């Protein structure tokens, strides 16, 4: 019998053992898998909090501010039973242009191009997403600082754009005096202010909203409900 014949099965078993050890070393342990999942969740949470923070820092549109003012004035008039006046105030110094509501013993401003701010900050939310992990908290704080910088940039650009915002209150008589400015027809027969009454009605008026060089948008207001009167093409 050849001298190497008896070593065949042993050699084969050794090769199989080496292959199995190689496969075992190539696999991940349960601890490693859980750690990777935790890291992915932490990073995803930081990005979600940052995206929400930037979205919240975006200022409302000109039309949104107008309807906030109208609804606020009508609600105040209904609750107090007294008249509430609403006028447009141009931006002066550091104050942005705004719709100013006034009533007996009080008033409120509705500024254009100003983002709403809430307590709690983005950094706190990012740090909370990494609870129990100081490194995650540090990363969340850094992300919060970056989000604050982005929010500041958005707010600065919005404030610059708000300087060109205007809101004119027009009479309900369409086809009045108008002028052509930059190729855009703008009505000039305006009202100094409009009034909201305690029974839920308001002065018959139309609102002409302008933002920069864009074409003015005119909203017809129903004096009985203080809501927009939709054209036939806009009705659903």
Judge contact between 183 and 217, C-beta under 8 A. Answer: no
Phi, psi of 198 (to 5 degrees): -70, -15
Along the 236 residues of the chain, how does pLDDT read in single tens digits?
555 555 555 666 666 666 666 555 567 788 889 999 999 988 888 888 777 766 666 778 889 999 999 999 999 999 999 999 999 998 777 788 999 999 999 999 999 876 554 433 333 333 333 334 433 344 444 444 444 544 444 444 444 445 678 889 988 865 555 544 445 445 557 889 999 999 999 999 989 898 877 788 889 999 999 999 886 655 44
List the chain domain ranges. Answer: 30-113+120-221
Angle CA(39)–CA(40)–CA(44) in degrees, nearest 5? 115
Distance CA 185, CA 167 (A): 15
Distance CA 23, CA 4 (A): 29
Phi-psi region of 183 (alpha: psi -120 to 50; beta: other; left: phi over 0): left
pTM: 0.55
């Amino acid at each position: 019998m050849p001298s190497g014949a008896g070593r065949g099965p042993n050699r084969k078993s050794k090769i199989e053992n080496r292959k199995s050890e190689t496969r075992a070393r190539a696999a991940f342990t349960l601890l490693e898998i859980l750690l990777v999942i935790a890291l992915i969740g932490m990073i995803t949470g930081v990005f979600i909090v940052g995206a929400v923070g930037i979205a919240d820092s975006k200022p409302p549109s000109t039309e949104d501010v107008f309807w906030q003012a109208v609804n606020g004035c009508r609600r105040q008039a209904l609750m107090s039973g007294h008249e509430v006046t609403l006028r447009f105030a141009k931006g002066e110094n550091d104050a942005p242009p705004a719709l100013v509501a006034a009533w007996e013993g009080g008033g409120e401003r509705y500024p254009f191009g100003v983002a709403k701010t809430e307590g709690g900050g983005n950094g706190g939310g990012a740090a909370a997403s990494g609870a129990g992990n100081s490194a995650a908290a540090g990363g969340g704080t850094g992300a919060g600082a970056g989000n604050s910088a982005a929010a500041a940039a958005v707010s600065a650009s919005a404030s610059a754009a708000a300087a060109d915002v205007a809101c004119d209150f027009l009479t309900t008589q369409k086809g009045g005096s108008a002028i052509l400015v930059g190729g855009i027809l703008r009505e000039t027969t305006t009202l100094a202010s409009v009034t909201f009454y305690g029974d839920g009605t308001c002065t018959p008026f139309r609102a002409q909203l302008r933002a920069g060089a864009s074409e003015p948008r005119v909203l017809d207001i129903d004096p009985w409900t203080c809501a927009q009167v939709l054209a036939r093409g806009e009705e659903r």
